[in-house]
Amino acid sequence: MKEIDIKELKRYCNPSYLTIRRDKIIVNSRRLAGISRAKKEKIERRFKIPVIYSESYELISQKMGRYISKYRIISPGDVLIVGLSGGKDSLALLHLLESYRRRFGVKIYAVTVDVNVGGIRPWHPGSESVKKISEHCEALSIPHRVISFQEDVVKMSKLLSDNSTGIVYSPCFSCSIVRRYLLTNFAMELVEKGIEKNSIKICLGHTLEDNSDTVLANIFKGDIIRVLEPIKNFEEITFDFKEFKLTLPPCTIVRPLLSVSEKDILKALEECGIQYYRDKEVCPYSRDRGDSIRRRCHEILEDLERDVKNIREMVVSSVLKSIEYYRNRDI
């Protein structure tokens, strides 16, 4: 299908509050887009594609929008590199960000990292799932790249653990290092092509569940209580895996979905007919598999959530308030 003529679409509504695919249009905000039932029907007749309104999609769009505004996560003219696994969270993030091309004039690139997890390659370029991810990007008219890394992240974590003083590193740790390494290297490629370095931000699809699970997992491990931040600048760092070293360039990582629940994301994608890659069912070390502390924390909070609906928000809020309290005491 051809790309939609935005100038023509402006005759009917405000495209800055729509997610525009070649095969469908999804309403981010019915009020701000100026979409009535009559206009919806006119657009469908004119462009011969469905216009979809989902209360759940509007909800996650509004939550993300408020979060972006509160923490100034995205600025006009930014270049956004979306780490796209094709799972529900990163795919929802990509769709929600699409409208920011018109709202903020941002450029978006989607990058899928092909990692080796103990011989399993969940994001191998030749797989049907990755082909589906590419089809989503094509429908959104967003450039997509798959970048492969051959070293085994399970072995990498074992090397780190064997050469540390009592610290056991999970494969997830090395996987996150590899992802950041490849995403930041892609960012450096863009800089070499003339894109301003300070305008580049790496966008990750971490959600409210990821953040609250992280807080509780740190407590159960007896570790420093950490919280995922909406925007964070990282300095250059080198990781020594003995057999080789990885140097990660400095970068800015943003997480626009931290206020959004996975349950709402799942419902929104289903209502909009967007098929996502169930990558957590493939990766042997995902939260949904095995018997890790993170999985236990997720189950504990999920159980508490049945009685205390906003328990996850409260967990994250407690840490943020504590950080602010002790920061003010040190002044």
- Degrees to nearest 5, angle at CA 67 with 274 and 256: 50
- First-residue to last-residue Cα distance in the chain: 59
Residue 155 has pLDDT above 80, yes or no: yes
pLDDT tier, 331 (very low <50, low <70, confident <90, very high otherwise): low
Residue 105 in marked binding region = no
Closest CA to 17 of 39, 2, 48: 39
Residue 84 in marked binding region = yes
pLDDT per residue as tens digits for the range 111-133: 999 999 999 999 999 999 999 99
Pick the residue with more confidence: 310 or 169? Answer: 310
pLDDT at 273: 97
pLDDT at 81: 98
Residue 85 in marked binding region = yes
Structural domains for the chain: 1-53 (no CATH), 55-330 (3.40.50.620)
pLDDT at 39: 96
pLDDT at 170: 83
Highest mean pLDDT among 15-29, 150-164, 215-229, 298-312: 15-29
Section 254-264 average pLDDT? 97
pTM of this prediction? 0.94
Q: Is the Cβ–Cβ distance between 42 and 12 less than 8 Å? A: yes
Residue 290 in marked binding region = no
Residue 304 has pLDDT above 90, yes or no: yes
pLDDT at 63: 97
Residue 126 in marked binding region = no
**C-alpha pair distances (Å), 5 with each of 1, 11, 147, 194:** 12, 11, 31, 28
Pick the residue with more confidence: 218 or 95? Answer: 95
Closest CA to 202 of 101, 277, 90: 90
pLDDT tier, 249 (very low <50, low <70, confident <90, very high otherwise): very high
